[in-house]
Homo-oligomer: A and B are copies of this chain.
């Protein structure tokens, strides 16, 4: 193994990215920056929103730069430090380059304090999943934009994914009827048996529309949107008056975005359903709600530590596997939070 390695984005992919979208190269071991740290990467997160950074279309996050390292959420160990708040040996979480060893300014790094159970009751990888960005996204979307009321019905797309699995469990704890949508019998069984969904519908089944309607006898009050496409089309006719759609992602469409959408044009039907049912649709990004993170962790960390909330990860081993882990995520072949174990 070379001293250091990093993974670059070669160019913006058109349509579906492939392993050739990325390249790996050897790199020098970085020097300690003044006031900063050198990090040894332990865990990397791959997340659907990263597809949006592989394009220069206007989005909420700056695009990756072709020829430069890809970055995402990571957990690392501080191995050199010029910052007393980030001492050597500390476990930290934040945005990190896809590089085994890297210099970091220290800005926006969070120390995972062992006193809070990190490294013992809580695997550091949870800081990238159930107790990190995806879990907080689930909590924000459900509570702030979904405005759930006991007895209501929520449909959760990508129900066994990093975000969806948390939405299902949090909604169930609030007394909602929870209907998951996931790809394949194994994921659907997991959604019902482990996540506690009242029902889960397979989006790969050609009878998706009929099956979803049967699972929602009282219509749908909240649709937690992670996918768009066929699932959205199946849910819209079931939406109740005054229902809510927290719009968190649209993974089925991310690759299509750089191409063109084939007809028929569904936009007018979508707009009409929002109008006549007085639906509130709200695009949201978890970063807009940072002030609520403490409240989220206070509520959810104990439930994860005690096992009352279940978590599941698909772990890929080795930095060089990060591109494949990301590509699997877009295909939906992961199960639970997709994580790369680097060291």
Asked if A295 is at the interface (CB within 8 A of a chain B CB), the reply is: no
A 263-292 contacts with B by CB, 8 A:
263-272, 274-285, 288
Q: Does A260 contact B (CB under 8 A)?
A: yes
Secondary structure dominating the interface of A: mixed
* A270 with B272: CB separation less than 8 A: no
Instruction: Compute how far the CA of A72 lies from the CA of B112 in the bound complex, rounded to whole angstroms.
Output: 64
**With A52-B276, A247-B274, A278-B60 as given contacts, are A268 and B285 in contact (CB-CB < 8 Å)?**
no
Binds B, one of A101-109, A198-206, A250-258, A301-309: A250-258
CB distance from A49 to the nearest CB of B (A): 10
Say whether A249 faces chain B, with CB atoms less than 8 Å apart: yes
In the complex, A241 has a CB within 8 A of chain B:
yes
Least CB separation from A264: chain B residue: B261
Known: A247-B275, A261-B263, A275-B249. A256 touches B280 (CB 8 A): no
Chain B, Cβ-Cβ closest to A269: B261
CB–CB A262/B263 < 8 A: yes
A58 at the interface (CB under 8 A from B): yes
Taken together, the copies of this chain in the complex come to: 2
Contact between chains at A283 and B288 (CB < 8 Å): no
Question: Are the C-beta atoms of A265 and B268 separated by less than 8 Å?
Answer: no
Chain B neighbourhood of A278, CB < 8 A:
60, 282-285, 288
Within 228-243 of A, Cβ neighbours of B (below 8 Å) are at: 228-229, 232, 237, 241-242
**Chain B proximity of A48: nearest CB distance (Å):** 11
Residues of B within 8 A of A276 (CB): 52, 58-60, 283
B272 pairs with A281, CB closer than 8 A: no
A263's contact among B52, B242, B263, by CB below 8 Å, is which? B263
A257 contacts B268, C-beta separation under 8 Å: yes
Q: How far is the CA of A274 from the CA of B283 in the complex (A)?
A: 5
CA–CA, A241 and B261, complex, Å: 24
Closest Cβ neighbor of A273 among chain B residues: B283
Contact present for B263 and A267 (CB under 8 Å): no
Chain B hits for A260, CB < 8 A: 264
B274 touching A281, Cβ below 8 Å:
yes
13 of the cross-chain contacts (CB-CB < 8 Å) are A60-B241, A60-B277, A60-B278, A242-B288, A247-B271, A253-B272, A256-B268, A257-B269, A261-B263, A263-B264, A266-B267, A267-B270, A276-B283
| 13 more A-B residue pairs beyond the given contacts A228-B267, A264-B265, A278-B288, with a C-beta to C-beta distance below 8 A | A60-B276, A228-B268, A229-B268, A250-B271, A261-B264, A262-B265, A263-B265, A270-B271, A275-B283, A277-B283, A279-B282, A279-B283, A280-B280
